Structure 1
């Protein structure tokens, strides 16, 4: 398994699938960029998975600036060298490529004609199209990026699309992304849908009152929650919450994730500072308590191609904790919420999103019923163990096929 930065959303997907594959009896190595090691790699076993943390030289410091400015696609020299040396061992039946950054692309490109391994690329987010992460990360440096970033944009787009056309198989996170991949020239019979999962062992339902006492939150207020590493759609919730407050005056908005100045500014501009709780990043131990303390969880999405093809990690965490969700009517997550009755689907406008939140806040029996269904769905259909079993089947299918795309130029 080749991934990019440790503790990124992609790493969460890669590690959870690796952990469950290890539970099925497979030997797994997951390579990620270390958050701490600058010049040397580190290797250790975590929950049955061999983790190799490669040096972060050229990823932090000045490298971090260039990464944000140019969307530096994994250009750390020591990182890439460590991965190439690891790949030379030629002991892998499957090499799963998470992301399309250079430190993932180069090991495939160099060894694709020399190893017996099958190469599988995982596509979990559109990066270089409308609404993609490239634009989200660079909005503050947009003017500079447009002037000097052309070579990097060209490279990033080439890596994102060319890689998926050449590997033995492509796993995608949603039906929407599958259709997009087909339009980009990826062979239809090489595409397999492996949705995001729910960590039902780490996140379990906790009584709401117990969670609030643990966190020191009021027992009698209505709490609306948002969880997100990538918070580009949070403004929908903030703007909606001003309307929610008019209908439910005691309501509080809880945001779990990395704090930022733009969130504080948006909250102040909306006039809801006194009703806003910024939990920041929380530990794995405390996350179930923060999720359990809310009445309604939110999954806002903006109308663009990236949103229509996404499967945000947070939907799995929402389902696992047993709380109902309000989701924008966009993409596969809206279909799941609607079809399985685990929450309510709102329109794509602010008023509709607010009204849908209010409806659940004012109907506790309905909210509780939907929360129970969400937990059941997480355990029976969307656990990481079930997603890993699906991925295992894909691997066996590819290994049984004598054909390989990786020798194509």
Structure 2
């Protein structure tokens, strides 16, 4: 599959069109596609060609309305690396996070096609990994932590491999400025917040028909949360459920409308009365989200400051702000730019009590609710305007292409090697990365040994297969002889059957003729019997027969008496 042809495609000169390969860590239902999809649309409108590669489940592209990019899987791109309309590969590979599946794909692709590699940061990756492994972040690089990290899902970042990936990249983009602390010193970096589609996410009245369809009662307050639960945010969402329960307990009828994918592990332990206060809509079409957000009396993003929220920007938060509804959010990430009490009500610790009090404060003060709503919409238009952000991204791409690639020879490694130790050696890293380099050298050696072991197994399997093939060929020869004998026997039997068929046909004809003759004889017997009967009856009517009746009777009597006459 090739990328969607850009408008006004000129040439391979970076001053004109650019081939951009976005590499996402998940399929097309992932929240990051909200950002990637809009950037691809803006870049395609500027004449660039975009491909978005996902690990699997390409069919999930159905959730993206009119994508301005070519959807492909990792395997498809690696099988056809020059997949753009001009027959070239990617000028820019934009790795959306340094997670292990993305990193491995990026290394494999750069083995095949040279170009610039940029890495986007949108989370504190070490925090996510430590939350998954249930350990402290400072334990991740200890021997035991590294062993566990090696076994972690590839949709998470490796604590050493991801940093090596950032070191060899040509630049980084970060969703919030706090993530710059993870960018290697001296590397080009751009703060890249998401853009918002203001044709969809904008102030609009609530739809009474939708409210009735969802069973919302008159006078019932509505909170809308459009996001899935993960191992990282389960506690925060549980606090939101508890806040809704508190509001109802305090005599403020409140319903939570929630969309997204929620695991049964999260939902089953919840108190029954909590679940009764929630409208669970599951995964919904993106076009429905603005209508649901418009139902809200308050839009609440649960959470608090800390290692998780300080380094991310919840994808739903810009859309919440754009809807022109009062917003409650943590004093973290975007909350650092929001004015508390003016643009939003900010949470310090994100407890259920704090969220419930914030909502009551908003609903008790119509003037406050109105100013929060209008200021939130203005903040969104100022900070998340897609055109301006895309301009900066396009300039960042062009600046990257204008400078030499950080790694010239991605393809100079051994075929099986996916570790980045050769690149770090080529860059001549200093003491600060010596430990990382040593560990990567260890991983590379282990990977090479594993590859050689697998190669030896493959050679042995091939030898076994060749022996099996030889036996199969001999067996096939034997079978061919047997088939030839069977074919000869079949010819003989066919001849015999033909002879028998001819004999049968002769016998059948004789039988037919005999049947006809027998039928004729049957008719003759009947005719003779009938004629004899007729003559006998006629004779019995003559005088001579009648006059001789006594004579015949006497004759029969004498015969019975034994007299010959």
TM-score when normalising by structure 2: 0.58
1:19·1:47 contact (CA, 8 Å) conserved in 2?
no
2:319 counterpart residue number: 317
Deviation at residue 349 of structure 1 after TM alignment: 4.6
**1:380–1:213 distance in 2 versus 1, CA, 3 Å:** farther
Contact 1:112 1:406 in 2 (8 A): no
Within-5 A mapping of 1:67-216: 79=74, 81-88=75-82, 90-112=88-110, 115-127=113-125, 129-130=126-127, 132=128, 135=131, 149-153=148-152, 156-179=158-181, 181-182=182-183, 186-210=184-208, 211-213=210-212, 215-216=214-215
Q: For the Cα contact (< 8 Å) 2:23–2:52, is it kept in 1?
A: yes
Provide the residue aligned with 1:26 in structure 2.
48
**Partners of 1:37 and 1:53 within 8 A in 2:** no
Give the superposition deviation at 1:403. 5.1
Q: Any conservation in 1 of the 2:51–2:72 contact (CA below 8 Å)? A: no
CA distance in 2, matches of 1:149, 1:107: 22
Q: Distance in 2 between matches of 1:83 and 1:102?
A: 17
Per-residue deviation at 1:300? Answer: 1.4
3-state SS, counterpart of residue 376 of structure 2 = helix
- Would the alpha carbon gap of residues 266 and 328 (structure 1) be closer, same or farther in structure 2, given more than 3 Å must change? farther
CA deviation map 1:351-384 (0-9, x unaligned):
3232112211222332222222222332332033
Aligned to 1:73: none
**For 1:278, which of 277, 280, 289 is the aligned residue?**
280
Structure scoring higher RCO (CA < 8 A, sep ≥ 6) equals 1
Matched, 1:2 2:54: no
CA distance in 2, matches of 1:86, 1:37: 19
Quickly say closer, same or farther: Cα 1:187–1:164, change in 2 above 3 A: same
Q: In 2, distance between residues paired with 1:107 and 1:147?
A: 21
Mapped partners of 2:407, 2:366: distance in 1: 53
Equivalent in 210, 232, 237 of residue 234 of structure 1 = 237
Q: Does 1:347 align with 2:366?
A: no
Specify the SS of the correspondent of 2:54: strand
Deviation at 1:162, TM superposition (A): 1.7
Partner of residue 74, structure 1: none
Rate the CA distance shift 1:99–1:147 in 2: closer, same or farther, 3 A: closer
* Counterpart in the other structure of 1:334: 335
Give me the CA root mean square deviation: 3.3
| Structure 1 gaps, min length 5 | 55-78, 140-144
CA contact (8 A) 1:205 1:288 kept: no
Give the number of aligned pairs.
Answer: 367
Q: State the SS of the aligned residue for 2:404.
A: coil
Which blocks of at least 5 consecutive residues in structure 2 are unaligned? 1-21, 136-143, 410-422, 425-565
The structure number with the bigger radius of gyration is 2
Determine if contact 1:227/1:255 at 8 Å carries over to the other structure.
Answer: yes
- Matched residues in 2 for 1:338 and 1:406: separation? 46
How far apart, CA to CA, are the structure 2 residues paired with 1:83 and 1:377?
39
Q: Given that residues 340 and 373 in structure 1 are in contact (C-alpha distance below 8 angstroms), is that contact kept between their aligned partners in structure 2?
A: no
| Superposed displacement of residue 204, structure 1 | 3.0
CA distance in 2, matches of 1:178, 1:148: 27
| Structure 2: distance between partners of 1:156 and 1:248 | 48
Higher helix share: 2
Which whole-Å CA distance do the structure 2 matches of 1:226 and 1:99 have between them? 25
Structure with greater strand percent: 1
For 1:110 and 1:221, locate their aligned partners in 2 and report how far apart those are by CA, in whole Å: 54
What CA deviation, in whole Å up to 9, does each residue of 1:57-89 have, x standing for no partner?
A: xxxxxxxxxxxxxxxxxxxxxx4x423233356
Deviations 1:319-344 (A, max 9, x none): 22221211122x22211332793211
CA deviation string 1:289-346 (max 9, x = no partner):
11110111111124431221011101122122221211122x2221133279321102
* Deviation, structure 1 residue 262: 4.2
Q: Structure 1 residues 346 and 150 mapped into 2: Cα distance closer, same or farther (>3 Å)? A: closer
- Secondary structure of the 2:24 match is strand
SS at match of 2:258: strand
